[in-house]
Chains A and B, each alone.
Chain A
């Protein structure tokens, strides 16, 4: 499906209409995960491991079962034994055995907070009381949290039987990826300037404000319903059915509104457990997480140790890059290392590269996707190193990047060529932006950084139906996290040439539409949009066909113009039928008018972003304030300008939080000390300035409207943009995140 050659002006694309679900959301009517109640619903509670690593010797649930009001109890033994099977349903791949064991521990607990048992009772208080009555006997094992510690020869092994690289002894290495070409060592030794550095950080959490929650109802005849918020209800169906070893069509998952995901809700934690409790009790069961549970037991982005070496010629041509990293996997393989490798240095044209990354198992919650999973970490290291290299070469850091910027046709790290990317255009837009020449005050510094994310396409199904009055409904299977209903309505209205308000978009449940991949991976406007356009075009064709049939003229004599079928030749020339007229008589012309598009979108293109950050550093206290921020991004084409800007601004804010204050703090006993919003410090309104966004449009020729995924790129550059700004303001290179005031202060006052 190709973009028409000349689309210069649009009726709806690029506009900013109010989203169709907006009134429900500003009035409190919209139903999110914990807002839904099923009649006769029981309340569930989960008992979680207090130990970071232990064998489960026994679980005694009798006291809990005896408590009046308790209707069901479940442990890992209630889940079926599964064969290893890697499933690609979320962002990244998971072995279904791991998913199952993460829902309810089987024989070992692998992190503090790992679910061990669950109860369902008639009130939330009774459920909590019952959970505490479950008696678990543990054999506490030594635990390990740090990357290097988990790689040490004597490290406790997380997985049993332990696996490692085939020719080596068992280890905690869960993934190992290397890409590159050329001769890095030779190139580095011949380079005019070389910089090297080690960059480190702890895990950070996606920080969605809505904790996980679901209601499940599983009847004795095998059929079930689940109501939950997620980034993909088909993923919920697929993973839940696989964990429980039941047919997928026996589960109907109704998507509730979702209060943020950012990748963290592309898996299941609660649904299989709620299902078991429901089956055992014969009633619907709600299970939800507290904020503490979310931090202790859901997947963060991996922390990292990253080593970088970059070499350049005297004129600034990059000749070699070596990036080696270790990422936390947590208790189960997270599969972020691959994305980390391909996201490290592909934005530069470098002849000699070696990018190598491993994931390390440890006694932490299993890492999960977080907005461009695997990319921000390596980008922080590489873009900081580029900054250092520019200084060493005496070269402007933007010029250094422009000189080496990858262009369409240049090779990615994998060896495949880049398509129609807009990286150079971002750099040019930044170069022309007044931010770069704005004056800086005392203790202020400016940093720049750029990065990218591969994005994705994949399967989406859309149904577009015409009501008898000629108004339209677009049904998708893509949960709406950030305004996608509006974008689908825009695209369909554009094709159909009708007012935006005549096209409404809904998110259908798993029984009511064909499957779609998750709302994640920056794929929804691209892939579900593509399917929406295809369905809209088919509906347009059908409307014309019905008009032709009504007029008894050949189909090629009918065109669609401005929302009407128009006869373009013959004796009916000039005849017009509106969508309403056609649909109103559809019962006679062939039946209901509807079209379904089910596709696996190909041809997605990565997004590139370039950020400019001004900071002010209080030299006495180490506080870093962001005083100005501009984010330039190639968005392909902005379908709904506000929501594209919103994605950019949101990603920037998360990146700034990651750079300045967010981190997991564990104590020596492997227990998380900051499982709450008080001490897991995300940016608040007073921490942030306005975020200027510049949307560069280098359309993707494959998408009918030129869309490129936008959601994930913006979290990639801020870490280095802020660090480079801090360096400019203070002369200190911060290589360890977060750059909290005490760490900046320590760097500034190292001598004293």
Chain B
């Protein structure tokens, strides 16, 4: 396996040019998926393009009513932004469940998303949050909903020469909360057997006015379960509503049996975690009980 060329441009345009000119070139963020796959021979890129030298791609900042998270921001760095943690604890927690602290000091949500594993931890939380990513490419910049990036395991909708430069998340209102939980066999270090992201809005009386539930590792790509969200809207998130939501979640699962979990277990855990995640999100949104 010949060694790929290594480039570290300092502009977005530089990255685009290198990726466009070479169909097997890959952007390098934290490398915690890319380098593993290169070592195992699963991929053999002709070039690796490090995006970490581009200043605008690192860090979390506010732009008006939007949080902007640079694609080269490692997961642990997300925790340093108190406002982001207060607004989107589910997203920050999800990103900070990936691997170990060593891995999280390098891994990025952009890499997690574009690796397109069905079990990616940050993706259900980002989808529940209705996050947008900004994609740079030969034709310029465009915005894409996070859930439109993964197409199938290992494949994204990005065109040749394109790469994710940042995520955008809205600033939060008062009665909103999100959460992410995953099922793994040990306490750390495992790939999610099931992941659930929940994002809720409630009103002054505790009635749910908006809900998004997204599932990971139960289908080839992340699943936004609209029926599950709908089962919660207009309710006070009582047991009956939660049960209806769980049924919708289970019905939306199309998992496989593999070395990490069985169909039956994944379906069951999707239901268990959906309930737990919604309860946490609700608590964060300020719901009583």
Return chain A residues, CB-CB under 8 Å to B264: 742, 746
**With A621-B269, A673-B259, A679-B259: A661-B185 Cβ-Cβ less than 8 Å:** yes
Return chain A residues, CB-CB under 8 Å to B189: 678, 681, 684
Return chain B residues, CB-CB under 8 Å to A684: 186-189
**With A681-B185, A683-B186, A687-B186: A745-B259 Cβ-Cβ less than 8 Å:** no
Return chain A residues, CB-CB under 8 Å to B193: 742
Tell me if B6 is interfacial: C-beta within 8 Å of chain A.
Answer: no
Tell me if A248 is interfacial: C-beta within 8 Å of chain B.
Answer: no
Question: Do B259 and A665 touch (CB < 8 A)?
Answer: yes
Question: Do B190 and A681 touch (CB < 8 A)?
Answer: yes
Return chain A residues, CB-CB under 8 Å to B185: 623, 660-661, 681, 740-742
Which residues of chain A (428-485) have a CB below 8 Å from chain B? Answer: none
CA distance A140 to B272 in the complex (A): 45
Tell me if A129 is interfacial: C-beta within 8 Å of chain B.
Answer: yes
Which residues of chain A (680-707) have a CB below 8 Å from chain B? Answer: 681, 683-684, 686-687
Return chain B residues, CB-CB under 8 Å to A292: 40
Question: Do B187 and A125 touch (CB < 8 A)?
Answer: no
1/0 per residue, CB under 8 A from A, across B132-171: the answer is: 0000000000000000000000000000000000000000
| A-B interface contact total, Cβ < 8 Å | 54
Tell me if B183 is interfacial: C-beta within 8 Å of chain A.
Answer: yes
Partner of B268, one of A674, A679, A745: A745
Question: Do A749 and B268 touch (CB < 8 A)?
Answer: yes
Tell me if A198 is interfacial: C-beta within 8 Å of chain B.
Answer: no
Question: Do A742 and B188 touch (CB < 8 A)?
Answer: no
Tell me if B1 is interfacial: C-beta within 8 Å of chain A.
Answer: yes
Return chain B residues, CB-CB under 8 Å to A661: 185-186
Best-buried of B186, B265, B272 by chain A (most CB within 10 Å)? B186
CA distance A746 to B261 in the complex (A): 12
Question: Do B259 and A742 touch (CB < 8 A)?
Answer: no
CA distance A128 to B185 in the complex (A): 35
Tell me if A620 is interfacial: C-beta within 8 Å of chain B.
Answer: yes
CA distance A679 to B193 in the complex (A): 12
Partner of B183, one of A129, A679, A686, A741: A741
Question: Do B3 and A125 touch (CB < 8 A)?
Answer: yes
Interchain nearest-CB distance for B275 vs A (Å): 9
1/0 per residue, CB under 8 A from B, across A641-681: the answer is: 00000000000000000001100010000000110001101
Tell me if B262 is interfacial: C-beta within 8 Å of chain A.
Answer: yes
CA distance A665 to B260 in the complex (A): 10
Return chain A residues, CB-CB under 8 Å to B40: 292
Which residues of chain A (178-236) have a CB below 8 Å from chain B? Answer: none
Tell me if B278 is interfacial: C-beta within 8 Å of chain A.
Answer: no
Interchain nearest-CB distance for B40 vs A (Å): 8
Return chain A residues, CB-CB under 8 Å to B191: 678-679
Which residues of chain B (250-289) have a CB below 8 Å from chain A? Answer: 259-262, 264-265, 268-269, 272
Question: Do A745 and B186 touch (CB < 8 A)?
Answer: no
Number of B positions contacting A (CB below 8 A): 21
Question: Do B1 and A687 touch (CB < 8 A)?
Answer: no
Name B's interface SS.
Answer: loop
Interchain nearest-CB distance for A305 vs B (Å): 22
CA distance A742 to B257 in the complex (A): 12
CA distance A661 to B262 in the complex (A): 15
Return chain B residues, CB-CB under 8 Å to A665: 259
Best-buried of A129, A292, A674, A745 by chain B (most CB within 10 Å)? A745
**With A125-B3, A129-B1, A665-B259: A621-B272 Cβ-Cβ less than 8 Å:** yes
Which residues of chain A (214-264) have a CB below 8 Å from chain B? Answer: none
CA distance A745 to B185 in the complex (A): 12
CA distance A661 to B260 in the complex (A): 11
CA distance A749 to B189 in the complex (A): 27
CA distance A681 to B265 in the complex (A): 18
CA distance A625 to B188 in the complex (A): 13
**With A681-B185, A741-B185: A674-B269 Cβ-Cβ less than 8 Å:** no
CA distance A742 to B261 in the complex (A): 7
Which residues of chain B (159-206) have a CB below 8 Å from chain A? Answer: 183, 185-191, 193
CA distance A625 to B184 in the complex (A): 13
Question: Do B268 and A687 touch (CB < 8 A)?
Answer: no
CA distance A706 to B190 in the complex (A): 44
Return chain B residues, CB-CB under 8 Å to A745: 265, 268
CA distance A740 to B183 in the complex (A): 12
**With A128-B1, A742-B265: A679-B260 Cβ-Cβ less than 8 Å:** yes
CA distance A740 to B265 in the complex (A): 11
CA distance A741 to B227 in the complex (A): 28
Which residues of chain A (703-752) have a CB below 8 Å from chain B? Answer: 740-742, 745-746, 749
CA distance A312 to B268 in the complex (A): 41
Residue of A nearest to B273 (CB): A621
Residue of B nearest to A128 (CB): B1
Return chain B residues, CB-CB under 8 Å to A129: 1
Residue of A nearest to B264 (CB): A746
Interchain nearest-CB distance for B48 vs A (Å): 16
Return chain B residues, CB-CB under 8 Å to A128: 1
Which residues of chain B (106-134) have a CB below 8 Å from chain A? Answer: none
Return chain B residues, CB-CB under 8 Å to A623: 185
Interchain nearest-CB distance for A671 vs B (Å): 11
Interchain nearest-CB distance for B2 vs A (Å): 8
Return chain B residues, CB-CB under 8 Å to A686: 186-188
Residue of A nearest to B269 (CB): A621
Return chain A residues, CB-CB under 8 Å to B261: 742
CA distance A681 to B188 in the complex (A): 10
Return chain A residues, CB-CB under 8 Å to B186: 661, 681, 683-684, 686-687
Interchain nearest-CB distance for B41 vs A (Å): 9
Interchain nearest-CB distance for A689 vs B (Å): 11
Partner of A742, one of B3, B187, B262: B262
Residue of B nearest to A685 (CB): B188
CA distance A674 to B40 in the complex (A): 13
CA distance A660 to B186 in the complex (A): 9
Return chain B residues, CB-CB under 8 Å to A749: 268
CA distance A673 to B260 in the complex (A): 10
CA distance A674 to B185 in the complex (A): 14
Interchain nearest-CB distance for A483 vs B (Å): 27
CA distance A679 to B260 in the complex (A): 8
CA distance A625 to B187 in the complex (A): 9
CA distance A385 to B109 in the complex (A): 49
1/0 per residue, CB under 8 A from B, across A563-585: the answer is: 00000000000000000000000
Best-buried of A621, A679, A740 by chain B (most CB within 10 Å)? A621
CA distance A745 to B272 in the complex (A): 12
Question: Do A746 and B187 touch (CB < 8 A)?
Answer: no
CA distance A621 to B269 in the complex (A): 7
CA distance A679 to B186 in the complex (A): 11
CA distance A684 to B189 in the complex (A): 8
CA distance A678 to B189 in the complex (A): 7
Question: Do A674 and B259 touch (CB < 8 A)?
Answer: yes
Residue of A nearest to B265 (CB): A742
CA distance A620 to B269 in the complex (A): 8
Which residues of chain B (212-268) have a CB below 8 Å from chain A? Answer: 259-262, 264-265, 268
Interchain nearest-CB distance for B44 vs A (Å): 12
Interface residues of A (CB under 8 A from B): 125, 128-129, 292, 620-623, 625, 660-661, 665, 673-674, 678-679, 681, 683-684, 686-687, 740-742, 745-746, 749
A-B contact pairs, 16 of them (CB 8 A): A621-B272, A623-B185, A625-B187, A660-B185, A661-B185, A674-B259, A678-B189, A679-B260, A681-B186, A683-B186, A684-B186, A684-B189, A687-B187, A740-B185, A745-B265, A745-B268
Question: Which are the 7 A-B pairs with shortest beta-carbon distances?
Answer: A742-B265, A686-B187, A665-B259, A673-B259, A620-B272, A686-B188, A661-B185
Given A292-B40, A742-B262, 12 additional A-B pairs, CB 8 A: A621-B272, A623-B185, A678-B190, A678-B191, A681-B185, A681-B186, A684-B188, A687-B188, A741-B185, A742-B185, A746-B265, A749-B268
Interface residues of B (CB under 8 A from A): 1, 3, 40, 183, 185-191, 193, 259-262, 264-265, 268-269, 272
